[in-house]
Amino acid sequence: MTFYDSSNFFPDTSAGYLIRVCNQLGVAQLDQAFAPEGVTAVQWSALIGIHVGRAPTCAALARDMAHDKGAMTRMIDALEAKGWVVRTRDEADRRVVNLALTDAGEALVMRCRLIAIDCWNALLSDWSHDEIHTFIAQLQRLRRTLESAPPCAA
């Protein structure tokens, strides 16, 4: 079954466009909310990824965030310079450099987590709990679909 055709495929009806714009608007909201902490939304995403163990290395973090490896390395350099991240050589394979949060990085992640919770609660304040649960479930389903989908044919 197909949904899109030339009669209904426009920016305001395109799933990809709407997701991208919503992401950009959400990042802008979090950037403002995190500004007093001296961290951006993208930096916080990297820090929380390290915190929850999704990304123990710079390369894994870049993959997890769909970010360029070079740009991720520069971001980790900046986070390390701020005293929030430390790099250590892996005991089993010295070629691997693991990432960990410092105590200051852990404290920042927890403060920003509360800020993010407050921000998203404010943004979704006129949504019912059922609407939010349904929306999250649909996004999770879309993520699984995208992760397992073969490349679209040209």
Instruction: Name the pTM for this structure.
Output: 0.89
Fill in the DSSP letter of residue 35: G
CA atoms within 13 A on the CB side of 113: 12
pLDDT tens-digit profile, the chain (154 residues): 899 999 999 999 999 999 999 999 999 999 999 999 999 999 999 999 999 998 889 999 999 999 999 999 999 999 999 999 999 988 888 788 999 999 999 999 999 999 999 999 999 999 999 999 999 999 999 999 999 999 998 7
Dihedral sign from CA coordinates of 148, 152, 153, 154 = negative
**Tens digits of residue pLDDT in 28-65:** 999 999 999 999 999 999 999 999 998 889 999 999 99
Matching residue, tokens 């500004």 = 35
Angle between helices 41-51 and 15-34 (to 10 degrees): 90
pLDDT of residue 137: 98
